[in-house]
Amino acid sequence: MRADIRIAWILARGSERREGWRILLTALGALAATGFALAAVAIAAIPGQVSIPYGHGLLDQPGQRAGVVFTLVLLLLPVLGFLGQCARIGAVHRHRRMAGMRLSGATPAQVRRIAAVESAFPSLPGSVAGVAAFAVLLAATGHAPPPAAWAGFAAVVLAVPVAAALVSVFALRHVVASPLDQVRRTAPDPGRRALFGFLLGAVLVSAAGMLVILPTGIRAAAFPLLVLALVFVTGAGAIWAAGASASFLGRRLTLRARHPAVLIAAGRLAHDPWAAARTHAALLLVTVVGVGFVGVRAVLLADLHAKDDLAMDLGFYTTGIGVAGSAVLVALSISLCGLAVGTAESLATRRRGLAVQAAAGVPHTVLARAALLETALPLAPALLLAGVGGTVVYLMYAAFVGAGTVPLLPLLVPVAVYAACLLAAATSLPLLRRATHPAELRFT
């Protein structure tokens, strides 16, 4: 392992200029992860009941602070997904190096480890910059954390690069480099994933049945667990739907497509249908949470205004709702960045094939439409399922609190997310012109 780390460091130091985007994006992802983790440690280190002049008393009670810490920890999930996308770009972009290492006797596992560790090195400057900015913020606010918090800050600085390396290993587990300058991905077993989803669905149905027969007090305590299980199972089902629909549409459209852009996109989906599931995983989970949150927010605000209690501090509740909504928007933004990075990675991986198609006379507009269709086709059914899951979540909450009206605004969330995904995918189109440059033909 020590030799792998030494080789990864040499490769990181000798990175080409065109790899600057990968290094910069990895550092930014590490900076975001460090910021969320440091904020969680700082809030968790506050002892007992205090009076903090921020957020209408949202951070005064230990139980309320625990909810804020849990939200910050959840924000690490889309950030880690973003780092995984950056790791995939780095591995495939350096495929000639990987082939050279395979010719030198390195095993596929060694190549993946070296690529993962190389992706972790840019995370260290990002984590250091994050803790430096956080220290300046603490000094500006006059807050002095206890020594245990500073120990937690140091642990975060070291843990973020390690987490980036582990995420990279997980992201590259299906990447195989051959000694003949080829990089491919082994296909995961969709049947195993489907079986896992069905088992989770059975557990969820059993939990729902238990909630019906349990007493009211226990039912209220177990309701959040049911919501979390429903969000997780729906997100997993949406991810599976993205890969399954990509496989189905790729096979069907390859046989029946009449437009060249559709034919090219269908061929790509049929070749690697689970690429969509890998790219859209965090985005689909955030969509389920977003639809459920918008519905729960509308029901909760309507219930608060209906009570009209003068002793109730509405600012406390609206601040908490605003913090949760901001967390959802931040997670969605990070997931959209991951989608843009994944689309760019796909174009960079296929740049030689795209250059051949352009040299054969395929117009640039056709290739651009095909790149957008690769995102649009499998994402539509997956977002539909994610929207259904989020709708079930807030309908359950409305039935639980006895709300008189059910909001319809959350139904527009999947539509808005779908449009945002297409815009995020379109940001990678400038790379398409570079990928189809005739100079790429030299490497075929």
Based on the number of CB atoms within 10 Å of its own CB, is 255 exposed (0-12), middle (13-18) or buried (19 or more)?
exposed
Per-residue pLDDT tens digits of the chain, which is 444 residues long: 677 777 777 766 666 655 667 778 888 888 888 888 888 888 888 777 766 666 666 777 777 777 788 878 888 888 887 887 777 665 555 556 666 776 677 777 777 777 777 777 888 888 888 888 888 888 887 777 777 788 888 888 888 888 887 877 776 665 555 555 455 554 455 445 545 655 665 565 565 555 555 555 555 555 666 667 777 777 777 777 788 888 888 888 888 878 888 888 888 888 877 777 777 878 888 888 888 888 888 888 887 777 665 455 667 777 778 888 888 888 888 888 888 888 887 787 777 788 888 888 888 888 889 889 988 888 888 898 888 888 888 887 787 777 667 788 888 999 999 999 999 989 888 888 887 777 766 654
Cα dihedral 31, 37, 38, 40 sign: positive
CA-derived radius of gyration, the chain: 24
Q: What's the pLDDT score for residue 21?
A: 72
Angle at 189 between CA 185 and CA 191, to 5 degrees: 155
- For 104-139, the pLDDT digits (tens) are 777 777 777 777 777 778 888 888 888 888 888 888
How far lies 344's CA from each of 142, 325, 430, 438, in Å? 43, 29, 9, 19
What is the distance between the alpha carbons of residues 244 and 375, in angstroms, rounded to a whole number?
A: 14
Is 414:386 a contact under the CB 8 Å cutoff?
Answer: yes
CA dihedral 216, 220, 225, 231 (to 10 degrees): 110
- For 365-424, the pLDDT digits (tens) are 888 898 899 888 888 888 988 888 888 888 877 877 776 677 888 889 999 999 999 999
Cα dihedral 324, 70, 414, 432 sign: positive
Is 26:119 a contact under the CB 8 Å cutoff?
Answer: yes
> What residues does 388 pair with on adjacent strands?
none
Angle at 422 between CA 337 and CA 255, to 5 degrees: 120
What is the distance between the alpha carbons of residues 10 and 13, in angstroms, rounded to a whole number?
A: 5
Based on the number of CB atoms within 10 Å of its own CB, is 405 exposed (0-12), middle (13-18) or buried (19 or more)?
exposed
> By C-alpha distance, which of 117, 109, 130 is closest to 90?
117
